[in-house]
Amino acid sequence: MDILTSLASALFVPALLVTAGYLFTCVFWPFKACRVCRGHGQVYGLFGGIRLCAVCDGTGLRLRLGRRLINLAGRLYREINSTNRNR
């Protein structure tokens, strides 16, 4: 085994573990705290007023990017299979 193959395998295994961990997180904890309001759902205005966060609509939660991709894949799968059944 040359050095390039051993380096590639040494980087592949941790990358695979990180990807599997993120996928696990996206399936079981699909939401994360909103970055704008930091999960509180409200933002303080310029003159001290409180208003609902426009990014998360006041919930304080946002879908993770990985969960959005999982939802997109499921939606595409259902759309493709439903069009094949109607033929």
User: Whose CA is closest to 30, among 57, 4, 64?
Assistant: 64
Averaged pLDDT for residues 21-50: 92
Given pLDDT bands bounded at 50, 70 and 90, which one contains residue 34? very high
Lowest mean pLDDT among 5-9, 53-57, 76-80: 5-9
How far is it, in rounded angstroms, from Cα 82 to Cα 17?
A: 34
Domain-wise residue ranges, the chain: 3-85
Residue with tokens 């109607």: 86
- Judge whether 57 and 78 are in contact, CB under 8 Å: no
Given pLDDT bands bounded at 50, 70 and 90, which one contains residue 1? low
Task: Indicate whether 84 pLDDT > 70.
Answer: no
